[in-house]
Amino acid sequence: MEGNIVQMGQVIGAGLAMMGAIGAGAGIGIVVSGAVQAMGRNPDFAGTIQTNMILGIAFAESIAIYCLVVALLILFVGVS
């Protein structure tokens, strides 16, 4: 068991940074649920709805990706 307190802080911090993915996960779930309901109601517009759904997912997902980038930066670039 070696390492120092900075490394410990890095690992814990990266883990904490990824907590932001909670919101994105819930958001994507809501988006897809709404889109699937809409597709069930009028299947004729499934294509349009799907496009908008993917856009919405991309926007919600980008928040999680910010968290991921922050976590990766903490882990692999580190504190200077």
5 binds another protein (CB under 8 A): no
Among 8, 62, 79, 80, binds another protein (CB under 8 A): 62
Between 30 and 65, name the residue whose CB sits nearer to another protein. 65
Among positions 8-47, residues that touch another protein (CB under 8 A) are: 47
Does position 76 interact with another protein (CB under 8 A)? The reply is yes
Contacts of 13 (CB under 8 A, 6+ apart): 71, 74
Using rule CB under 8 A, residue 68 touches another protein: yes
- Separation of alpha carbons 38 and 44, rounded Å: 10
**Using an 8 Å Cβ cutoff, are 35 and 49 in contact?**
yes
